[in-house]
Structure 1
């Protein structure tokens, strides 16, 4: 316990890393849970086990009768560098074709469960982007109810450079909120957006100065929690219901195509090139 009103639940990834808390769930109150991506030494890259835990928390929160607000942020300089590509790269380089098919199917199903838990989430879901965001940590932002970004945060989707395709329903949500040409610039051409550009394009609710993010985060959460609960959540459900079936279809189709791309000849080489480039740039 941090204090009487906060319960800390940690999740450790792997037997050899049992002392590293990669996902922190802080139950600030019955009404508000906070998820902290806590893998700063790897820029909060998301492993398979972390995806499983995030999905579990979202599904638990969806069923919790008292919960109103779930907020997500990152620890350290980065919000998240997206999916940890190191393990898939090793697996694809050292397994047979049959094994690769199994790995790809497992990965597809894991992402499907995670993204659907965001699509289905009936409570208020807020992201506080504390630094650079890459990959799935960007593509899923349009599924949130609010995105508050630090002034130093950036947003990029290196799908094509890694020989992958869109996920997180971004092939549907990004053109809807940005317009087709702006969406293609980030989805196809890996154009990195500043926080201000992301706000202008409708991906970010508000940009907050770095040194004020923690203070503003508390004030935003307090304001949300001060609103009438039933009216708030019922109105979210009304907004949500018109697109929820479409988003599930988009998610399934995106992941079917993504799996095919994982099995392509260009994917393993593109991943290795991308990882080596990141190592050279100290990311």
Structure 2
């Protein structure tokens, strides 16, 4: 396993931590592969009752590594078969409770993966955003269904279309996170919740979650989103957006 993903097992909880703080935990294809392995292994391991996703450093995740994505956009093949979409499928299929602890920025997939967590603890000053359209892309992770379902269509469309962040306090008010707490206690509160969940009847939790989520529907939507995402990723619009991002200027669409 790459040292950019760290795992620790304790009290029935598997802590999966993003460990690329120097790059604001931007996620590479290699990291997606390791995240997928961790989640699949947790699902199949009876000792694991709960998965807790955390991050080292000041930020939860700045989203996809742009340089990595530019490289992918220049290649061929079906994006749905890529490591990132296998990670998304693992999230859709995960039937054990998942908890997340969020500090700093949660951007793009750093936000949409939270939609697959059953409980989320965020710092009050965390900044959550979904700036896919800013990069001329399209939302993923079944977020076109899940985000409007949680916060309502008007708020979700605004988050997608304008890409502007909301803070942790607003995210709690909108129902996007369960707890908004001071940054210094985010991990502590998240661990407490994860440990409490780990003491509950495991089959009851899994069956309850399965009744609340249609994993097959989520994966079908993810594939549809993936087709649009892949088409946009290789479009002139996206190339201009990526170039502008790397050159630190506003794109000209």
Same fold at TM > 0.5? yes
| Counterpart among 220, 232, 249 of residue 249 in structure 1 | 220
State which structure, 1 or 2, has the greater radius of gyration over its C-alpha atoms: 1
Secondary structure at the counterpart of residue 224 of structure 1:
helix
| Counterpart among 225, 239, 242 of residue 268 in structure 1 | 239
| Counterpart among 148, 153, 173 of residue 146 in structure 2 | 173
Moved segments of 4+, more than 6 Å: none
CA distances 1:119-146 after superposition (whole Å, capped 9, x unpaired): 1001111111122110111022111111
Gap change, CA 1:199 and 1:276, over 3 Å in 2: farther
Query: How far 1:159 moved relative to its partner?
Result: 0.7
CA contact (8 A) 1:123 1:233 kept: yes
- Whether 1:66 and 2:47 are equivalent positions in the alignment is yes
Q: Equivalent residue for 1:101?
A: 76
Query: How far 1:38 moved relative to its partner?
Result: 0.3
In 1: Cα distance, 2:171 partner to 2:138 partner = 21
Higher relative contact order (CA 8 A, sep 6+): 2
Q: Equivalent residue for 2:195?
A: 222
Gap change, CA 1:264 and 1:231, over 3 Å in 2: same
In 2: Cα distance, 1:245 partner to 1:57 partner = 21
Query: How far 1:234 moved relative to its partner?
Result: 2.4
Q: Equivalent residue for 1:84?
A: 65
In 2: Cα distance, 1:226 partner to 1:232 partner = 10
Gap change, CA 1:231 and 1:87, over 3 Å in 2: closer
| Counterpart among 148, 168, 174 of residue 195 in structure 1 | 168
| Counterpart among 162, 179, 185 of residue 158 in structure 2 | 185
In 1: Cα distance, 2:69 partner to 2:212 partner = 37
Further displaced range: 258-267 or 228-237: 228-237
Q: Equivalent residue for 1:141?
A: 114
CA contact (8 A) 1:156 1:190 kept: yes
Q: Equivalent residue for 1:259?
A: 230
CA contact (8 A) 2:125 2:169 kept: no
CA contact (8 A) 1:69 1:125 kept: yes
Q: Equivalent residue for 2:98?
A: 125
Unaligned residue ranges in structure 2 (runs of 5+)? none
TM-score (norm 1): 0.83
How many pairs align? 249
In 2: Cα distance, 1:119 partner to 1:107 partner = 14
Q: Equivalent residue for 1:51?
A: 32
- Whether 1:27 and 2:9 are equivalent positions in the alignment is yes
CA contact (8 A) 1:51 1:110 kept: yes
In 1: Cα distance, 2:94 partner to 2:35 partner = 12
CA contact (8 A) 1:140 1:169 kept: no
